[in-house]
Amino acid sequence: MVFGAQTMERGQSAELVLELQDLKIERPPLIPADEGLRIQSRSPSPSRIFKMINGQSTSILRYRYKVVALEEGEWRLGPASVRYQGRSYVAPSQKIQVLSPSQKTNEIARVEAFLSESHPYEGEVVSYRFRYEKRGRSQQNTWNQPSLSNWDMVSGLEIETQKNVVLEGGRSVEIFEWHVPLKARQEGRYEIGPGEILVSVPVKVGQSSPRRFFLPETELKRFNTDILIGNVRPLPPAPTDYSGLVGVFQLRAYPSKRVAKVGEAIEVVLELWGNGVIEGYRWPAWTVDSMEVHDDEPQYEHRMNEGLYASKMMLRRVVIPLVEGKQVLPPLQIRVFNPKKEEFELLESDPFSFQILKGENTELGLDSFQEKESDSSAVSSSELRSPPSELGRSVAPWWIVWPFTLVSGLWLFRRKKAPQIRSKPVLPGKLPIDRAKRLAIFSSYFDALCSYCEEEGSELPSSKVVHIKEQLYLARYGGAEIQDLEKELRALGGA
Amino acid sequence: MIVFLTTMLWADPLEHYVQGKQHAQEGRYEQSIESYLRALEERGADPHIYWGLGNALYQSGEELPAKIAWIRAQKMQPWNSDIAHNLSASDLPIEGPMVPAEYLSWLATVFFLGGLWGWQRRKDMSIVLFLSFFLFLWFSLRAMENDRIAYVVSQEVSVRSKPSVTGISLFLLQKGDDFRIIERRSNNYFIERENQKGWIGGENLLSLNPKDTFFIPEETK
């Protein structure tokens, strides 16, 4: 038993070679390992070489195993024992020290594996995601798929690979992701072995030389993910009309036309899509006496779209009406198991109603049909009503009435002004000495007094008014005494 | 300025509208749709353009966009029985046209003002008016909600985690699926369907709101 490593880091793997000299064994012998290690045969058939030892030809069978360090601690690998022709041959066991990943290892790469659903239902499709963070100058080599137990890979689909670059502490980290769609096989325990990536890492040895600068020496490192273990849940007791589909699905069905003549083919497109496997599904048939039904070959496609599985099936179904009148096809119903809701659900299309007119070989035309079926609300293309020649109103009428509403609102709630009580004008007791200013005050006082009396309905003696008007006129040119005028104005105001 | 004025002079929505009608009458539905769309671009939302566009789309076999165009037209002219007649041609389960939210909110305002005015005069009438106000306010909110309903017009579209093509695809929608628009950011819409939310490009959907852009998918043109 040849295994060079005495210590390993968690997540790393190494190769173990079991050499059998002159022993013929059909299958690779089982080598026991403690729970912190996982050992797995690389291939069922060994490599065989012949050597001449002491002049005799000796055959050597080499079985290769992959040993993955799963948990930190000291673990025992082996012993390997082989029984051949009644005799036992034993290779001694070996102790392996598993350490936590060093900082240097973490600087090279990090790997992780996830399942989109860790407790799937049987038949459910989940996405296995292997994530590899490439750090430093390491070169990515190859990704090895993990071993699967109680899973089936969804056939006919390429594994989706994504690459992103993120900045972490000022350094760019390339993140590669592989997405694999897996279908849970049956109720019970499942296991997904460690996903492994082989990375070649440059080795710093000796003096730098031009050759090493251009062709640096590298060593191959293996990085492994943890094993994923869980349980596949059974489906609840299924109803009799269960289609066998597991996933979140949507159904749609639409006809190419709704008005046709007797004998004219109507194509109905049926579409079913979701995140479960649909391949091999048979669409439920329609049995309608008044129509012939013919199915085309169903078209199926599926893909991984940004880490999620999506599938779609389309069927073109041709129905040929045999009888005129209103024909109704029943809605299409498919019962599926929805893992998100954890229950069976019924997908149902809308029912289809068709207006079937008389065929061309009969005398009954469209007009007579309309007479017979005047209660029908269906409108054919030829009956569409056309818009008028001018454009419609770009400003809708309710916008026009808005200003009226606003104005009427303002009018309803306007503030009513309080009635103003006008007081009788009064000639000030102290008047300016300047003649012109005094005369101006007299003139404005006289006007205010006249308008006040007019509004109040009381009349001033007209002779007095005429007289004061004349006096004011004469006073402007020095023809009247201003003191007399003041007296007369005060007397008029007092009256 | 000269370029702008020239553009304004050349941009005649009526001309494109008449062209659209002529093309439709002569059975050239694709050209008719093009002309109506140009008329819409120049004129903005117009019930007659939507009406003609709906006819052309229906004649060319695009039932879903046709029904949406008619619904938009009917929203702008709820009294138009000809548009209602055309709408009955399609059985697609799209929620029928509602009276525009603006009209309902206007009526609600009238009732509210009437209630306020009558409060000091006739309280019983005023209470009736206030109740009418709340009723029309509710109708108005429902009509606004109806404007947020939209339908997928592309064959298949990914609803993503952010408003760009770099967003993660959360779920897929197929042609004819309906959803509710929550928010609009440029030409991207944040939508909700069956408790699932995400972003979708504006070129993949048609809303029932007449003021929104009317997009015809490439495969239709």
Whether B40 and B16 have beta carbons less than 8 Å apart is answered as no
Asked if residue A192 lies in contact with residue A228, where contact means CB atoms within 8 angstroms, the answer is yes
Decide if the complex's ipTM is over 0.95: no
Determine the distance in angstroms separating the CA of A263 from the nearest CA of chain B, rounded to an integer.
20
User: By mean pLDDT, which of A17-31, A94-108, A157-171, A403-417 is the weakest?
Assistant: A403-417
* Chain B residues lying within 8 Å of A408, measured CB to CB: 113
Phi, psi of A214 (to 5 degrees): -85, -35
Q: What is the pLDDT of residue A114?
A: 87
Q: Range with the lowest mean pLDDT among A251-260, A341-350, A389-398, A455-464?
A: A389-398
* Record: contact B174-A388, CB cut-off 8 A: no
Give the tokens for residue A166. Answer: 């993120």
Is A254 in contact with B176 (Cβ distance < 8 A)? Answer: yes
What's the order of all strands across the beta sheet hosting A325-329? A259-261, A352-357, A325-329
**Pairwise CA distance, residues A219 & B56, whole Å:** 69
H, E, C per residue of chain B: CHHHHHHHHHCCHHHHHHHHHHHHHCCCHHHHHHHHHHHHHHHCCCHHHHHHHHHHHHHCCCHHHHHHHHHHHHHHCCCCHHHHHHHCCCCCCCCCCCCCHHHHHHHHHHHHHHHHHHCCCCHHHHHHHHHHHHHHHHHHHHHHHHHCEEEECCCEEEEECCCCCCCCEEEEEECCCEEEEEEEECCEEEEEECCEEEEEEHHHEEECCCCCCCCCCCCCC
Separation CA A28–CA A16 (nearest Å)? 12
| Interface contact B91-A258, CB threshold 8 A | yes
Q: What is the mean pLDDT of residues A269-280?
A: 88
Contact flag A381-B89 (C-beta cutoff 8 Å)? yes
Q: Distance (Å) from the C-alpha of residue A486 to the closest C-alpha of chain B?
A: 54
Name the residue among A257, A388, A396 with its Cβ closest to that of B102: A396
The answer to whether the predicted template modeling score (pTM) of the entire model surpasses 0.90 is no
Tokens of B156: 């298949």
The answer to whether residue A406 scores a pLDDT higher than 90 is no
Report CB contact under 8 Å: B103, A398: yes
Residue A78, classed as helix, strand or coil, is coil
A273 closest CB neighbour out of B59, B86, B174: B174
Distance between B49 CA and the closest CA of chain A, angstroms: 7
* pLDDT average, residue stretch A157-175: 80
Where residue B49 falls among pLDDT bands split at 50, 70, 90? very high
What confidence category does residue A375 fall into, taking pLDDT thresholds of 50, 70 and 90?
Answer: very low
Place of tokens 């939508």: B191
3-state secondary structure of A442: helix
| Beta-carbon separation of B89 and A384 below 8 A | yes
Mean pLDDT across B99-119: 83
List of E strands, A233-387: 242-246, 249-255, 259-261, 266-274, 291-295, 299-305, 308-321, 325-329, 333-338, 343-348, 352-357
Q: Beta A218-224 vs A125-134: how paired, if at all?
A: unpaired
What letters, b where the CB count within 10 A reaches 16 and e where it falls short, cover A441-455? ebbebbeebbebbee
B61, B168, B174 ranked by CB distance to A306: nearest: B168
Q: How far is A270 from chain B (nearest CA, A)?
A: 12
A79 cis-preceded (ω within 30 degrees of 0): yes
Distance from the A334 Cα atom to the nearest Cα atom in chain B, whole angstroms: 18
The C-alpha atoms of residue B203 and residue B187 are separated, in whole angstroms, by: 8
Question: In the prediction, which pLDDT does A415 show?
Answer: 63
Q: Is the pLDDT of residue A232 over 90?
A: yes
Q: Can you read off the two tokens belonging to residue A250? A: 């949507």
> Is B82 a residue whose pLDDT tops 60?
yes
| Nearest CB partner across the interface for A384, out of B43, B46, B86 | B86
* Best A312, A391, A400 residue to mutate vs chain B (most B CBs within 10 Å): A391
CB B172 within 8 Å of CB A247:
no
Q: Nearest-CA neighbor of A331 among A295, A381, A288?
A: A288
CB A13 within 8 A of CB A3: no
CA dist list (Å): A212 to A191, A202, A205: 43, 10, 9
Per-residue pLDDT tens over the stretch B128-174: 888 988 988 888 888 888 888 899 888 788 888 888 777 788 888 88
Name the CA radius of gyration of chain B, rounded.
20
According to DSSP, the β-strands at A188-192 and A148-149 are: antiparallel
Tokens of B184: 């609009």
| Predicted pLDDT of residue B91 | 73
What pLDDT is stored for residue A453 in this prediction?
Answer: 84
Work out the pLDDT band at A125, boundaries 50, 70, 90: very high
Q: Which of A273, A387, A402 sits opposite B48 (nearest CB)?
A: A387
Judging contacts by C-beta atoms under 8 Å, the chain B residues touching residue A399 are: 102
Residue B8, pLDDT > 50, answer no
Residue B15 has pLDDT above 90, yes or no: no
Q: How far, in whole angstroms, is CA B20 from its chain's centroid?
A: 20
pLDDT given for residue A379 in this prediction: 61
Residues of B in contact with A326 (CB under 8 A): none
CB-nearest to B93 from A350, A391, A393 is A350
- Coil, strand or helix: which one is A401? helix
- pLDDT bracket for residue A353 (50, 70, 90): confident
Helix, strand, coil % (nearest 5) of chain A?
20, 45, 40
CA angle A369/A373/A379 to nearest 5° reads 85
Residues 6+ apart with CB under 8 A from B175: B64, B152, B153, B154, B155, B156
- Can you tell me the mean pLDDT for A74-100? 84
A7-25 residue pLDDT tens: 888 878 888 888 888 777 7
Supply B196's token pair.
């699932």
